[in-house]
Each structure stands twice: as structure tokens, then as C-alpha cells.
Amino acid sequence: MTVTVERTIPFFPPDLFETDREALLATLYEVGTDPEQKFILGRRTARFEDALRASLGSTDVVACSSGTSALTLILAAVDIGPGDEVVVPAFGCAPLASTVLSRGAVPVFADIDPLTLTMDPGHAGTLVTDRTRALMPAHMFSVMADMPRLRDLASRAGVRLIEDSALAQGGSLAGRPAGRWGDAGVYSFVQVKVFGMPGEGGVVLTDDAELAGRVRMLRNHGQDGRNRFLHHHVGHNSRFDEVMAAFQSHRLAGLPSRVARRTEICSYYSERFADLAEAGVVAPPVGGDGRFPYVYTLLCEDRDGLRDHLAAEGVDTHVYYPRILPEQPAFAPHARLDGSRRPWPRAREAARRNISLPLYPHLTDAHVEHVAAAVRAFAHGRKR
């Protein structure tokens, strides 16, 4: 079926929070006029942490200023520093490397699995040395990393497992939510994430009470929360906003339905694209354990051609991470080479071929079908 669209289908929609506009305005007024005049780390933040803790079954949840900050706080809480190494994927977002470097440690880049686009446990295992202090895998787009193998590797090596689950809220593997496989995990609430909000924010989740206690101090300049101006550690300003805490608490009840709609769209895309591999368009499989509906990403041999075709059809797309981390100017000086002429081949392929399609809860069925039909038309044109 051909669907006529009146305007471009945006990749980043401008109206993500339109249905909650009145709730947001009311929350802003409530916090702004509260006689307590507490705008960070107040009772609303505590209630939000408690609600997430209950929904995830985690021993502790610590709200902070962003997903990146959450990773930094974990690294600091486990005393990773100069002389230490942290194994991270070669394909992914900059904080995987920058947070490690900010601690004076060295990121060691592992290649990825060609299907899940997440850290390859086999390659990661070859990179562990006596200086390795942690593995830091990241879930990618809509597929969780192989956490059972990575958990086993970390346990055998005697190192920490830090789970970058920033974008994976709503996912689970073997019955365990994303973020709860490692010694600690993180979520990000930047607006386009599964549980995004109109601002920056994140959380650390962990079952390690001592680690959680250190993170709580570190997020607020190393203070313990009971004695202001008593600083136990050199900490950070990574505090959570009370307006956003109340707003996210309001939106938490609707999260399952939004995740379900995202999942429905992902499944439809995958059903429609399942037969396109021979035409050079590879889609994630339908459903399966360890899936979450953040970004729907294809691998395409002619990515630029597909992108131009979709733009002509009124469909915005996005290319994440067109350059692998060890080749970024900021990180290349720290990349450890293994002697091969072109290391990290699977990460390079992902950087060359990935392209993401619109995915958000209020996409209409007509828009979803239009996107799917446009991708199929491109693939069949190439096949001929």
C-alpha cells in the first residue's frame, strides 16, 4: 500500500512531550512555588529513585545529571584511575572512551559482534591483562550485549563489569532487566531515549550498597547528604533536578505502553525487511530475548543511496557513529593496536553501513508503512 505523507517524517520529533505539556507546566509551578525552595536532590528525586528501584528490582538507584555522568561516577566509585585499563567496544558513543580517560585510565578497544553490533566477548577476552580493572560493554540501538558471557568473563578475570545500558531501558535478557547484569549499570534520560525527558539526566543502578553509597556522595561534591560542607571525596556536580524528577515520576506509569508501541513498530519493520538481505539491506530479527526498542537500525551496503532515497520520500534518517572510537582524534593517541593493518574490522563495517529509521511511540501506522515501503522500494530497485 502506498501512503501519501503530508510532510517529512522527522527522525527526532519535536512533539515528544506534547501530551504531557500541562503536567510539565503544573510541575514547574509546584516546584517553583514550594516553600521548601529545593530544586535539586529533594524529596521528588528520592521518590523517583524509589519508584525505579521498585520497578527494576534493583537494590539501589541513584539519580544524577546524565548517562555520561553516571558512567563517570561508577568509574570513580570503584577507584579506577591512572595505570588502569578498561575494555570498551570500538563502535559506540564517545563517553565509552572519554569517561575512562577522564579518570586517567586507558580505554582498550574491543571489536564487535557483526549482528548485534555490541562488544564481542571473545575479542574482549584476548585484551584482558593484569592492568585491566573493568569491562564496559554497551547495548547498541535495539539489541543487548551478550551479558551472560561478559559476566562470566569479568568474574573469571576478577574485574568489574560496568554496564552501559544508557539507551536500553525496557530491555531484558534471561529475565534480568538491562542495567542489572553488571556491578553497576546506567540509564540516560536525554529526550530521545526510551524514557527520555525534556532535559539531561540519568541514573546509576546497582545491587552493591557500598558502591551506591560512594556514588551518592560523589554526585554531590563528595558530601554524604547528612553533613553539608563535609567532603569525604573529591566529587562532582552531578545532581538531579526536582522538576524533572516529578515529571518522570508522572510519566513512569505510561512507560510500558510507550515501550509496547515502539516494540510493535520495530517488529513490523523487521517483518517487512526480513527478505532484503540479498539486496544489501540487513535488518534486526523480529523479537527475541535481549531486545529493546530504542533506535531501529539497518545495515546497508549503499547507505548513502538509501539515505538519499528516503529523504526524497519524506523520511528523515540518522547515521550514528560513522567513525569508530579508536580513530577519533580525541581517542586515537590512546588506542592500543594489535599489529594488524586494519584492526577492528567489524566495527569499521558497522560504522560504514549503519542507518537508523524513525522510531517513536506516536508514529502513525500510515507513517510506519510509508517508511517500510520506501525502504523496500529502494532495496528492490537495487536488486533489479
pLDDT tens track for 134-184: 999 999 999 999 999 999 999 999 999 999 999 999 999 999 999 999 999
**Both 230 and 286 in a single domain?**
no
Q: Which residues of the chain have pLDDT under 70?
A: 1-7, 338-341, 382-384
Q: For residue 155, what pLDDT is reported?
A: 97
28: in domain: yes
Backbone φ and ψ for 163, nearest 5 degrees, come out as: -100, 110
| Domain shared by 371 and 236, yes or no | no
Domain assignment present for residue 3? The answer is no
Torsion, CA 229, CA 235, CA 241, CA 244, rounded to 10: -150
Indicate whether 314 and 247 sit together in one domain.
no
- Look at residue 382 in the predicted model and tell me its pLDDT: 64
Verify that 227 and 245 share a domain, yes or no. Answer: yes
From 252, 268, 299, the end of a domain falls on: 252
Range of the domain at 147: 18-252
pLDDT value of residue 340: 63
Q: Does 2 reside within a domain?
A: no
CATH number for the domain harbouring residue 336: 3.90.1150.10
163: nearest Cα among 173, 153, 178: 178
Contact 204, 59 (CB under 8 A): no
Do 215 and 326 lie in one domain? The reply is: no
Whether residue 269 contacts residue 296, with contact meaning beta carbons closer than 8 Å, is answered with: yes
> For the domain that residue 43 is a member of, what is the CATH number?
3.40.640.10
Residue 11 within any structural domain of the chain: no
Contact 139, 92 (CB under 8 A): no
On whether both 280 and 348 belong to a single domain, the answer is: yes
Residues 200, 111 within the same domain: yes
Residue 230 is predicted with a pLDDT of 84
CA atoms within 13 A on the CB side of 271: 9
* pTM of the predicted model as reported, rounded to 2 decimal places: 0.93
Q: How many separate domains does the chain show?
A: 2
Residue 136 belongs to a domain: yes
Alpha helix ranges (H) inside the chain: 21-33, 43-56, 67-77, 95-102, 121-127, 147-157, 209-218, 242-252, 255-273, 303-312, 345-353, 365-383
